[in-house]
Structure 1
């Protein structure tokens, strides 16, 4: 049997509107009365996020001073994963169809995410995604988990999953960040990076996944059709 482990935000959920609304909120809260700031358009803001421009630099680009930029970055960290902003998340186009294809193909499907239980449950209910992921195929953080860095926390989730999940002949990990690629490679699982999330191609290439594709739909089609080749055109075994 084949298994596909997918990240949640990026391959399935588009978080760009949530992140942009939080950016707007933090900019407004941090600016002084009568201070002129330059709110970045969403496209420009998201491009900066995807190329890993630091929050402080985004604040400076928006017209805040050094002290304000630090305040902005701290407020953003405190706000971006708060309950009232999750309503702005949306489905990545084609993601649900891709999940249906996986089910129909008999591929074992699991989700692995840095969301907390309550954050994942909220999205499952809003978008009716629990039909794809039974409880024993969901790997996320407990509500009281103290995060360090995703690139350190995600390999720990992967280790837990590999201990608990039944053995399969082959596994793939689909994700949109360096944490996904690192978690997969550390545990000998092939990694497909998608460009539908919070990292652009240049950032993904730095971590050398087996393959970079547009989105989950493309990844699923390639897996099902057995047409997976690396950047040099060699078939990935």
Structure 2
């Protein structure tokens, strides 16, 4: 089959998770402070602004360091990190996720060009489908490869992403799709490493959880602001190729 297939991460290119991660951070701090108060500890937390918090996350500052800068020490940091891991994928926090700016318009470009979008994510598929249904984006996705572990998306291990992308590629090839022009689009080093490992051109978007400067170090094929820009680039290529035929 000649239709172009694009492999794409979910969090970052399509879903903006910044509000959820910040809400999780604040709830984690509030929980630790309440616990300390109940135990008679004198603990004063300092809430970073969302801009400060997200800048640290984008530049890969460890969560332990973020907790320290928020006023936590020792076992309070351990308690905070455990609580964040427990609650980050809770349904009430998942509702903070939003559609990334202009992602819908970008997906519409791909749809009009006949490009298949295959999601490769470390989120459980049911979470992704719920988001797509809530935001009326199911039409844009041709296939989905996720992870069963609820906590996997927060850890974002490169080895997990490589395994998921490998499975996606193998299945698409068995189904007869031509992947010679495929890309891997994502917002983390795990996405870039997965695409590079499996021989795909890589498109790193800087609207997600990694900064432009950080992503440059992994040498993606393209480094661009968002999915919409990537889709425009693909549309131009598709148009040029048609003119050459």
Q: Find the structure with the greater CA-based Rg.
A: 2
Instruction: Pick closer, same or farther for the CA change 1:169–1:146 going to 2, 3 Å.
Output: closer
TM-score, reference length from structure 2: 0.87
Q: Distance in 1 between matches of 2:150 and 2:102?
A: 33
Shift of 1:42: 0.6
Structure 1 distance, partners of 2:107, 2:20, is: 23
Q: Which residue of 2 aligns with 1:141?
A: 147
- The answer to whether the 8 Å contact 1:50/1:198 transfers is yes
Q: How far apart, in 2, do the equivalents of 1:199 and 1:22 lie?
A: 18
Report the secondary structure of 2:95's partner residue. helix
Moved more, 125-134 or 22-31: 125-134
Count of residues in correspondence between the two structures: 225
Structure-2 residue corresponding to 1:224? 235
Q: 1:55 deviation in Å?
A: 0.9
Matched, 1:81 2:92: no
Q: Greater share of helix residues, 1 or 2?
A: 2
Q: Paired residue for 1:163?
A: 170
Question: C-alpha separation between the residues in 1 aligned to 2:67 and 2:101?
Answer: 30
Calculate the TM-score normalised by the size of structure 1. 0.89
Q: Say what the alpha-carbon RMSD is for the aligned residues.
A: 1.9
User: Which stretch shifts more, 200-209 or 145-154?
Assistant: 145-154
Shift of 1:36: 1.9
CA distance in 2, matches of 1:144, 1:23: 18
What's the offset of the Cα at 1:111? 1.0
1:112 equivalenced with 2:120 (yes/no):
yes
Conserved in 2, the CA contact under 8 Å of 1:15 and 1:89? yes
Shift in Å, 1:101: 0.4
Task: Report the Cα offset of residue 115 of structure 1.
Answer: 0.6
Aligned-pair distance for 1:217?
0.6
What stretches of structure 1 move > 4 A for 4+ residues in a row?
143-149
